Structure 1
């Protein structure tokens, strides 16, 4: 009988005081003892045989909770069975792949038995590990004839590894000239939902043929699933290997004609080099696969070499995944709220719910780190529903406290929309809490719409008809097909923070934002801009008729209690951030000559103006970023930046200003160009006539005030038209959906 001592040695393992432990240490079978405290299943003990089979040391295994996820993605069903058995305290025996610490593949048979204490409680689990690699390899060899895919005629990855191992043993090539590449063709995975079987097969065959033509006679190619290929290539250097991969990308990119479309294939590469990364075929393929996984996270058509840090990152990811599984049970997750503000009324009109993870040891873990992990390992369904449940609980509490409840937006991923029960689950949470469905908005990305599966469409329709709103999130960062906005019941478009961040300095981002606002309003959709952090960004968005903003400028994401305080205080945006007419006219004087600036200030002081002064274009731009300005009067010849250059930049960043040049030099061409392009309203010369100059400046202010009034009226008309267009849009969608449903047999 095994006794568990309570004292710990310096490695974290329990001191082996019992002779039973001595017997375990000399056993040829790997033995593992796990704790069942809080279902963490932490490693308490591993014998010498287990350490030898896995390649880990006692220190590395001590206290770990991720020991059983050393396999690859193909073993996920086995891992799920194992986790289910542990959770149910049931014995289990499974076969699974086991990658040693050095990345080499071994097959193992793992048996887990619950250990009950004298009270009948399962306090520990005992695991028995046997190495069955030899038997598995014999089984693989016996099935060698079936390793060639009938569709492409290529060997699978297991056959590839066998052939490559023999090549490695028999060859006399120079070290560093053999590479293993893992390839993932994007379109193979997306094609299954939009092509018939014949077209899919044709696509796979053409891809395999083109890959084959790019290889030399002594190189090996394999195909193992839809878009998963691997090949061995010879190259004199890394750059040579990259050129070989780029040649393959160009070959695949040539149009493939199908019945009703032309397909252009794109692919990512992960590369591992012999013997730097490993000396065995399976381990090389494993390293190339890790590099490919990183490449897919970057972008399409990426070529990435394996490096040791990837293994470290994989280990960190596995550790984080294991911790994430316990995060909800341990109350480590919480919901924070970030206010959304109307840019006309300046009031809070909504809020976004954001999941936050406060790990007891690692601290705050960013959502962009753990949300993709949750999507990858299937936890996103549980976490997503938990967030909605918490939101419903908070909204019910706010309502009971008599607070002015505002609609709450929640992000829902494409992975969640693949769950056919999602709609029923959300409606159940709303019904239990007594929350009004119209107070919930779901923010979805284009990934949901790209799938366009029957399941996702049915869920969208179900929730829409229940009264739940939809916003299209991260607009502009993906395909941004306008057809999505026509076919789905969106009420709002969300401009991604990546465009807002640089809109002041990047004219392209500013133009994109203007185009999105105009397009959305034409379709009857409201527009919200995320990531607004500066007053300058807020003024730009307000001036260009953006409807709503969200960002640190108004509020960071805060806990529910802090958001309640914000609502109770009635906090609003300062009026100065919007386009409201100012009580006093503001003039900016820019001239590098101090005496000229002083003279102009004396002359214009009698006109009751708020006058700002700068002695260079750079100083002028800094003041414009800090203060709302009506009229700019600038000298032409200044060191570092001419007046025309300064005013051209001012036009892009602060288009509402009226801009005048006052100069003693007539550089006709540059000034003429600036006037023609609208950068300059007027060009005046030095020395000036006091009366005429004051008249020109007063005329410029009148022009600005007229433009402000026109802008105010435009906003009012826009708001009315937008409300009407939105109502018409929703009515049209309902009629189309009703007709579609009614026409079905």
Structure 2
């Protein structure tokens, strides 16, 4: 009978096979037990217990002897695991765990013992946890979930990342694979299943689809998968799902931004060209025509500069909404630039000029309605260029360029719509030629200065000149400023042209002063772009200093629009230039850009009235009233008025009658060259003719009648009264006479050709409201006369025939009334001037009082500090004024001479007699003497040396007495001091 611990012969081969195939290849320690006795061990088992691995060749009895303390710990383990401890000779003690599993295939009472080192077990546990944690972190950071599929059994194991991705925390663990499809939208489940069904073994694949989370949100995911087949033919699948929703949204956003305007959401230039290109290609198969409208909205850019990009964007969105409402289903509305839009008309739209004109007119009417932005109403006025395919262009870019070029035909026509023509292309080419020529005009010395004199209407003399740019191009010839200056402003070349103009003007002023000529103030025009240059003030200062030109000989004219729409930085620069002495003039005043509340805060010396606001004597009364209102407004703001574009003597006399200060125009001087102006300054300074200057004041009577005999009779009647008598045969002539002379009283007939007397006097009242107006007529039309009297147009109505003496009395009363009115105006003017002077004096006095108060506060602070310093002095000190009063006592002196108060007392009675003699002796010295006098004296506090010195001015001299201890103070003195 064979012992159970001894292996049978047929087991030998099985044991050897088990050792070679399983035991020696296992990464853990393994031992075969039969009835609790060891039969064989693997190398890992032997080495864990301190062996060298050859123990695998030992038989059962040798194994029992090799580790006798181990086997009892492994006996009767059953299915449990057990902690094993074993002392290894020459090694640290072994601590680990043993696991038992019965192997019935090898026979009864046979079991496999698995031995694991505690350190190895911990490492395995750590490695497992680390891998699980890294998987979770990787899935979390990459927004990914994964799952393993058993394709044969239909089971699936989902990761926690997949559960988090789907928002279903209970999804992890083993479940049916088909249940994962429920998170795929119904319409995509067949697609996902078919991809997996067609998967090739061991070949990775990927595709995109959507997932629906637990809360109903739909995700875009990148699905990666692979099918793996084990050697035994078992098929397993592995998949990862990555959330790419944000990435897809970003891609779509990038695509949208690449093809659409960010503000309005309309297709942009690229998308527009793609659509036009597609239409051009379609037309090659199906010949047809279509049109493009290029729409420019200038207020968008202006609003962005004046109120910020938010306001410009709001207006752009409003325009986009109106254009989309106009277009049909086949019409494409696009935004090409900041203020440029385009309409690509569909096939249904006709391309005939009449139809396109109607469509463009509808666009104009739709955009003509004001748009409210905050507290302002903006009208997005449009300029439209129209071009058609294939008449005007053969490609997408050519068609867009043709429509944009067509808009150039709008300028100067008063229209808002223009169709593309070859002539417009020629205009665009000339503009490009002007721009190219201007870039080299300075270096080629093609520019020159021209001047137009500005006249003082009080003295009649020229006080300055506006500097104008002239350009004679070697290729283009003489180019008008109205043509090249807008190009210079749009391209930014105006900055370099302005610098050249300033340098040349300063050099000219320097030459005039060197030649002994009386230089005029030269006024230079500055555009918005020039005012925005950060170094404008510095460049002007350098020009003045380098040429030695006084700042008052330079003026600056800035457009009204530039200043009103400019920033605070522009106002600051103008203030700095004005502080240098440069005169600032507000050009083009009255063209519609003024903000009167802002005008009074601007650093402006002169209002330059635009030529459209300079009326003639025959102009409508409203125009004259506007000019008079501008002049009065400027004077009330302490500004002077310069009227430009004065062409006739009538305009000049009317401006002089209304108190205008300066004028500029062909009525006195045309535009001249530098050589002509220099010759005028050298020969005789230009001035107004004597007949246009204001004459000494004399009483003037204007007689208006179309009958010469009546005029002659009236002249004979009034000549004896010493009046200057002026006559006119009609109302129009009477207005001309009133413009030429300062008339006091008007005596007019009623029935005259062309204009009745009442109409004439009504116009005279509007133009010259200070005159006294009377009617002398034999014709009576009660209604018009009554209305004129009620309106104040007529002072008296007299009838023909007249009584000479009574008529003379009425006229004398009229002159008396005019004299009273003139005196009242003079007094009112003097009162206003006195009030302004009083305001100036009050402001100056307030400034002086403020300065004096600040000085008093400073002196009080100094006195307080001096008193505090004296109190901190460790020696007794007393100040006595020249009247013998104690004016200062520090704490040490009060403690020494107390207990009563010393301040304000007479020094003779308050101080010890010996000390009083000291300051009296010093008082006998010369007033300006500062000789130091010392005496020794004994006081209750001990022995002291007293010193006295005069201080303060002689008129308020005083003495400072200081006591120095000679010996340590006695106990009584110390007590008093304390």
1:412 is displaced (CA, Å) by 0.7
Question: For the structure 1 residues 649 and 458, does the alpha-carbon distance in structure 2 shift closer, same or farther, using more than 3 Å as the test?
Answer: closer
| Residues 1:271 and 2:401 aligned together | no
Check the 8 A contact 2:646/2:666 in 1, yes or no. Answer: yes
| Residues 1:305 and 2:419 aligned together | yes
Q: Given the alignment, which residue of 507, 511, 535 partners 1:393?
A: 507
1:500 is displaced (CA, Å) by 0.8
How far apart in 2 are the matches of 1:239 and 1:730?
A: 71
TM-score (norm 1): 0.69
How far apart in 2 are the matches of 1:247 and 1:481?
A: 33
Query: In the alignment, what sits opposite 2:261?
Result: 149
1:651 is displaced (CA, Å) by 3.3
Matched residue SS, 2:403: helix
Q: Given the alignment, which residue of 613, 629, 633 partners 2:747?
A: 633
1:314 is displaced (CA, Å) by 2.0
| Residues 1:190 and 2:274 aligned together | no
Q: Could you report, residue by residue, the CA deviation over 1:27-83 in whole angstroms, capped at 9, with x for unpaired residues?
A: xxxxxxxxxxxxxxxxxxxxxxxxxxxxxxxxxxxxxxxxxxxxxxxxxxxxxxxxx
Matched residue SS, 1:459: helix
Check the 8 A contact 2:388/2:399 in 1, yes or no. Answer: yes
Structure 2: 5+ residue stretches without partners = 1-254, 847-978
| Residues 1:244 and 2:347 aligned together | no
Query: In the alignment, what sits opposite 1:449?
Result: 563
How far apart in 1 are the matches of 2:791 and 2:578?
A: 47
Matched residue SS, 2:659: coil
Check the 8 A contact 2:300/2:339 in 1, yes or no. Answer: yes
1:414 is displaced (CA, Å) by 0.8
Check the 8 A contact 2:289/2:390 in 1, yes or no. Answer: no
1:720 is displaced (CA, Å) by 7.9
Matched residue SS, 2:612: helix
Q: Given the alignment, which residue of 635, 651, 658 partners 2:765?
A: 651
| Residues 1:492 and 2:609 aligned together | no
Q: Equivalent residues in 2 for 1:226-245 (5 A)?
A: 226-233=338-345, 234-235=349-350, 238=353, 240-245=355-360
Matched residue SS, 2:647: coil
Query: In the alignment, what sits opposite 1:665?
Result: 779
1:353 is displaced (CA, Å) by 1.9
Matched residue SS, 2:670: coil
Q: Equivalent residues in 2 for 1:493-512 (5 A)?
A: 493-502=607-616, 504-512=618-626
1:480 is displaced (CA, Å) by 0.7
Query: In the alignment, what sits opposite 1:410?
Result: 524
How far apart in 2 are the matches of 1:728 and 1:518?
A: 25
1:279 is displaced (CA, Å) by 5.0
Check the 8 A contact 2:304/2:310 in 1, yes or no. Answer: no
1:475 is displaced (CA, Å) by 0.9
Matched residue SS, 2:619: coil
1:685 is displaced (CA, Å) by 0.6
Question: For the structure 1 residues 489 and 599, does the alpha-carbon distance in structure 2 shift closer, same or farther, using more than 3 Å as the test?
Answer: closer
1:392 is displaced (CA, Å) by 0.9
| Residues 1:219 and 2:219 aligned together | no
Query: In the alignment, what sits opposite 1:369?
Result: 483
CA RMSD for the aligned pairs? 3.9
TM-score (norm 2): 0.54
Query: In the alignment, what sits opposite 2:702?
Result: 587
1:268 is displaced (CA, Å) by 2.5
1:219 is displaced (CA, Å) by 1.5
| Residues 1:180 and 2:271 aligned together | no
How far apart in 2 are the matches of 1:303 and 1:725?
A: 56
Matched residue SS, 2:754: coil
Query: In the alignment, what sits opposite 1:549?
Result: 663
| Residues 1:419 and 2:533 aligned together | yes
Query: In the alignment, what sits opposite 2:153?
Result: none
Check the 8 A contact 1:539/1:579 in 2, yes or no. Answer: no
How far apart in 2 are the matches of 1:570 and 1:722?
A: 35
How far apart in 1 are the matches of 2:839 and 2:400?
A: 56
1:491 is displaced (CA, Å) by 1.6
| Residues 1:434 and 2:548 aligned together | yes
Question: For the structure 1 residues 708 and 345, does the alpha-carbon distance in structure 2 shift closer, same or farther, using more than 3 Å as the test?
Answer: farther
Question: For the structure 1 residues 574 and 261, does the alpha-carbon distance in structure 2 shift closer, same or farther, using more than 3 Å as the test?
Answer: closer
Query: In the alignment, what sits opposite 1:682?
Result: 796
Query: In the alignment, what sits opposite 1:284?
Result: 399
Q: Could you report, residue by residue, the CA deviation over 1:461-519 in whole angstroms, capped at 9, with x for unpaired residues?
A: 44334333322111111311124323431122111112115575132222222222222
How far apart in 2 are the matches of 1:563 and 1:723?
A: 39
How far apart in 2 are the matches of 1:711 and 1:504?
A: 27
Question: For the structure 1 residues 396 and 197, does the alpha-carbon distance in structure 2 shift closer, same or farther, using more than 3 Å as the test?
Answer: closer
Structure 1: 5+ residue stretches without partners = 1-142, 733-745
How far apart in 2 are the matches of 1:425 and 1:659?
A: 57
1:718 is displaced (CA, Å) by 7.1
Query: In the alignment, what sits opposite 1:164?
Result: 276
1:643 is displaced (CA, Å) by 1.8
How far apart in 1 are the matches of 2:494 and 2:364?
A: 34
Check the 8 A contact 1:176/1:236 in 2, yes or no. Answer: no
Q: Equivalent residues in 2 for 1:297-376 (5 A)?
A: 302-359=416-473, 364-376=478-490
How far apart in 1 are the matches of 2:733 and 2:307?
A: 60
Q: Could you report, residue by residue, the CA deviation over 1:169-200 in whole angstroms, capped at 9, with x for unpaired residues?
A: 6469x999843211122343234446676665
How far apart in 2 are the matches of 1:589 and 1:503?
A: 16
Matched residue SS, 1:229: strand
Check the 8 A contact 1:442/1:471 in 2, yes or no. Answer: yes
How far apart in 2 are the matches of 1:669 and 1:440?
A: 58
How far apart in 1 are the matches of 2:579 and 2:730?
A: 59
Q: Could you report, residue by residue, the CA deviation over 1:270-312 in whole angstroms, capped at 9, with x for unpaired residues?
A: 223455544544333222212324446777x933333333222
Question: For the structure 1 residues 607 and 259, does the alpha-carbon distance in structure 2 shift closer, same or farther, using more than 3 Å as the test?
Answer: closer
| Residues 1:577 and 2:653 aligned together | no
Matched residue SS, 1:327: coil
Larger radius of gyration: 2
| Residues 1:563 and 2:677 aligned together | yes
Check the 8 A contact 2:653/2:739 in 1, yes or no. Answer: no
Query: In the alignment, what sits opposite 1:476?
Result: 590
Q: Could you report, residue by residue, the CA deviation over 1:227-261 in whole angstroms, capped at 9, with x for unpaired residues?
A: 22111233575555444344444544666666776
Question: For the structure 1 residues 176 and 643, does the alpha-carbon distance in structure 2 shift closer, same or farther, using more than 3 Å as the test?
Answer: farther
1:544 is displaced (CA, Å) by 2.1
Q: Given the alignment, which residue of 540, 550, 553 partners 2:654?
A: 540
Check the 8 A contact 2:700/2:742 in 1, yes or no. Answer: no
Query: In the alignment, what sits opposite 1:737?
Result: none
Matched residue SS, 1:460: helix
Question: For the structure 1 residues 703 and 346, does the alpha-carbon distance in structure 2 shift closer, same or farther, using more than 3 Å as the test?
Answer: farther
Matched residue SS, 1:405: coil
1:531 is displaced (CA, Å) by 1.7
Query: In the alignment, what sits opposite 2:156?
Result: none
| Residues 1:696 and 2:810 aligned together | yes
Query: In the alignment, what sits opposite 1:22?
Result: none
How far apart in 1 are the matches of 2:731 and 2:611?
A: 28
Check the 8 A contact 2:351/2:388 in 1, yes or no. Answer: no
1:217 is displaced (CA, Å) by 0.9
Q: Which has the higher contact order (CA 8 A, sep 6+)?
A: 1
Question: For the structure 1 residues 147 and 604, does the alpha-carbon distance in structure 2 shift closer, same or farther, using more than 3 Å as the test?
Answer: same
Question: For the structure 1 residues 731 and 256, does the alpha-carbon distance in structure 2 shift closer, same or farther, using more than 3 Å as the test?
Answer: farther
Matched residue SS, 2:669: coil
1:646 is displaced (CA, Å) by 2.5
